[in-house]
Amino acid sequence: MAGEGEEMVKNKQVIFRDYVTGFPSESDMYISSSSLSLKVPEGSKSVLVKNLYLSCDPYMRILMEKVEANRDFASLTPGSPVTGLGVAKVVVSDHPEFKKGDLVWGPTGWEEYSLIKKPEAFFKIHHTDVPLSYYTGILGMPGTTAWAGFSEVCSPKKGESVYISAASGAVGQLVGQFAKLMGCYVVGSAGSKEKVKLLKNKFGFDEAFNYKEEHDLDAALKRYFPEGIDIYFENVGGKMLDAVLINMRVNGRIAVCGMISQYNLKQPEGVHNLMHIIPNRIRIKGFAAFDYYGQYSQFLDQVLPMIREGKIVYVEDIVEGLENAPGALIGLFTGRNFGKQVVLVAKE
C-alpha cells in the first residue's frame, strides 16, 4: 500500500537491452534510473535489499540468449535489469527469517536496490572478518565450484598431475591452490604474462603458461606434462579440450563447470579427440556449484580458516560503480579481468 511517510529512493539500474548473438558488447546493456519506495508488500514474504557487490561470471553470457529455463537459471529479460549473484544488505523484510541489516549473498539484480521475492535462495553472511566481496568469489558460487569440483568431481590423490585452464580466474586460482594443498603437481594456463606470473608467484602453481603464446597447445601440454595429466579442470572448451584429451593419463578425470571459449560462438567448435577417452578410461563430468550448496557450511568451515591463516589467497578485480558493470562483464570474454571480477555498488 503506497501511502504517506514512505521513503522514496533513486534506483540506478543496468538494463539488459535484448538477446545477444555472437560476441556481447557493453551496448547490450544500458544504465537507467527509476525511483523506488523502500517497502515490501505485506504478506509477500519478500525482502528489499541494497546491493553492495555484484559478481561478473562467465555463465551470464549464456543467459543473454534465449535459453530453455532449467533448474538453475532463466535467461535475462530484455528491458529488465541484468540478474546475477551479489552481496546485499536487507533494508526492509517481510520474511520471518530475514531482518533489516542482515547481510546476504545470492541471486539479485544489477541495480542499487532489489525487491527479492524468494529470499530463501539467499545465504546469510555470518563472518565479516573477511572482505564482504569474497562472498561473490572465494566464499560464494565460484569458491563452491572450485572446492566441490576439485574434491568431489575430480577425486584427486596426492601427487597427481593437475592442469587448470583459465587458471587466474575466479574459480581456477582456487582449484590450483586447493590442488597444491593436497600435494598435487599443478600447472595453469592464462592469457597474459602478468597472469602467468600471478599463477606462479602468488598462487604457488608449479608451472604456468600463456596459451596465447603457444601455437601448438598439444606441444605445450607435453612440455609441462611429459607423463600426462591426471586431472583437468575445464573452464575453456574447444581447442584446449581437444589438446588435453590427447594428453590425459589412464583413468584421468575432467571436471567441466564452464567452457568460456565457446559462449560467444554461434556454433560451438567441434571436439575431435573424444575417442581418446576409451583407451585411457577418461571420466568427463559436468557439474554446477548449486548441487553442492547443501554442503556450504562444511565448505565455510574448511575454507574460512585457510583464508584467515593465509594458506589460501584470493585476487579480485573490483571496479566501482554500477555504470562500470557492463564493461566489467564484457571484459571477462576478452580476459581483461585480473582475478575475480567484482562490481562495487555501495559500501554498506
- Out of 75, 262, 264, 295, the only residue in the binding site for a copy of itself (CB under 8 A) is 262
CB 304 to a copy of itself: min, Å: 27
Q: Does 24 bind a copy of itself (CB under 8 A)?
A: no
Least separation in angstroms between CB 347 and a copy of itself? 34
- Interface with a copy of itself includes 69 (CB under 8 A)? no
Among 70, 96, 129, 347, binds a copy of itself (CB under 8 A): 70
With contacts defined by CB under 8 A, name the span among 123-131, 194-202, 284-292, 331-339 that binds a copy of itself: 284-292
d(CA 347, CA 51): 9
Residue identified by cell 547443501 is 294
Out of 269, 300, 313, 336, which residue is the one contacting a copy of itself (CB under 8 A)? 269
Per-residue binding letters, 302-321, with a copy of itself (x by CB under 8 A) = --------------------
Applying CB under 8 A, what is the total number of residues that bind a copy of itself?
34
Does residue 280 interact with a copy of itself by CB under 8 A?
yes
> If you search the block for the grid coordinates 568451515, which residue do you land on?
301
Residue 271 binding a copy of itself, by CB under 8 A: yes
Beta bridge partners of 116: 47
DSSP class of residue 81? B
Considering only the stretches 78-86, 267-275, 327-335, 336-344, report the one whose residues sit in contact with a copy of itself under the rule CB under 8 A. Answer: 267-275
Work out the number of other CB atoms within 10 angstroms of the CB of residue 189.
29
Query: Which residue do the cell numbers 607435453 mark?
Result: 222
DSSP string, 195-253: HHHIIIIIS--SEEEEGGG-S-HHHHHHHH-TT-EEEEEESS-HHHHHHHHTTEEEEEE
Task: List Cβ neighbours of 86 (8 Å cut-off, separation of 6 or more).
Answer: 51, 52, 53, 54, 55, 105, 106, 107, 108, 136, 345
Amino acid type, 281? R
* Shortest Cβ 284–a copy of itself spacing (Å): 4
Query: What nine digits make up the cell of 306?
Result: 585457510
d(CA 290, CA 302): 18
Nearer to a copy of itself, 252 or 326 (CB): 252
Work out the angle at residue 143's Cα, subtended by the Cα atoms of residues 341 and 51, and round it to the nearest 5 degrees.
50
The helix/strand/coil state of 8 is: strand
Under rule CB under 8 A, residue 279 binds a copy of itself:
yes
| Under 8 Å between Cβ of 319 and 344 | yes
Find out whether 343 and 53 touch, Cβ atoms under 8 Å: yes
Closest separation between CB of residue 5 and a copy of itself, Å? 46
Min separation Cβ 292 and a copy of itself, Å? 11
Nearest by Cα to 87 from 117, 131, 57, 46: 131
Would you count residue 158 as binding a copy of itself (CB under 8 A)? no
Cβ-based nearer residue to a copy of itself, 258 or 326: 258
Residue closer to a copy of itself, measured from CB, 206 or 269? 269
Q: Is 267 in the site for a copy of itself (CB under 8 A)?
A: yes
Question: Which of 140, 144, 143, 196 lies closest to 166, judged by CA?
Answer: 196
Among 274, 297, 305, 308, which residue sits at the site for a copy of itself (rule: CB under 8 A)?
274
CB of 72 to a copy of itself, least distance (A): 6
Amino acid occupying residue 11: N
Q: What angle do CA 292, 296, 302 make, to 5 degrees?
A: 115
* Closest CB 277 distance from a copy of itself, rounded Å: 3
Residue 9 interacts with a copy of itself (CB under 8 A)? no
Which residue, 214 or 269, has its beta carbon nearer to a copy of itself?
Answer: 269
Binding test (CB under 8 A) with a copy of itself, winner from 3, 22, 96, 270: 270
- One of 164, 256, 329, 345 touching a copy of itself (CB under 8 A): 256
Residue ranges binding a copy of itself (CB under 8 A):
70-72, 237, 241, 250, 256-259, 262, 267-288, 291
